[in-house]
Amino acid sequence: MKVLITYFSQTGNTEKIAKAIYEEASKENQADLKKLEDITPDEAAGYDVLFIGSPLHSGGLAAQVRDCLALLKPSSGQKLAGFITHFAPAYPEQDMEGFTEPFKTACKEKGIEYVGCFDCQGALTESMHAAVQKKLNMSDQQWADMVKQMTGHPNEDDVANAKAFVRKVLG
């Protein structure tokens, strides 16, 4: 099976998960790991399974990932799985449904089978701390607790969970 793992990452969180997915997928499949900007829609069409990764930006997929989804070629028999990273420890199920909707919509429009989405916490880049703290209206103590929670993510457990997700998708 030909598997493509492609992603957009600014801080390294999504890239770390992409590498874990690649490591697991390449054990029993022909797998390629490519940054989103290094893959064309025609190239993506040549794979049986696509894993597409994105950080969450302002409560949604990165614009680069949304653009990629819009450019996917129609396909029959191809599968797509998403993976996302975010700074919050967890989101309610209804929020996750909203985050994954662009994956589902693209799959429906292109005849691609949507097979799920993996998500995990990542560390927010420090340059964004003040703006996000203000947007969330958190006290300094609340924000310090949030920073402590996100520090070190994605961690070994997150990587192990990403690999388990791959086994489920490719099973």
Structural domain that includes position 31:
2-170
pLDDT value at position 9? 95
pLDDT value at position 92? 66
Mapped to the 3 state alphabet, what secondary structure does the chain carry?
CEEEEEECCCCCHHHHHHHHHHHHHCCCCEEEEEEHHHCCHHHHCCCCEEEEEEEEECCEECHHHHHHHHHCCCCCCCEEEEEEEECCCCCCHHHHHHHHHHHHHHHHHHCCEEEEEEEEECCCCHHHHHHHHHHCCCCHHHHHHHHHHHCCCCCHHHHHHHHHHHHHHHC
pLDDT value at position 124? 84
Q: What digits encode the pLDDT tens for the residues 95-108?
A: 788 889 999 999 99
What CATH number does residue 54 fall under?
3.40.50.360
pTM of the full structure = 0.92
Number of domains in the chain: 1
Tens of pLDDT along the chain (171 residues) come to: 999 999 999 889 999 999 999 999 999 999 999 999 999 999 999 999 999 999 998 778 999 999 999 999 998 899 999 999 998 777 767 678 888 999 999 999 999 999 999 999 988 888 888 888 888 898 999 888 888 888 889 999 999 999 999 999 999
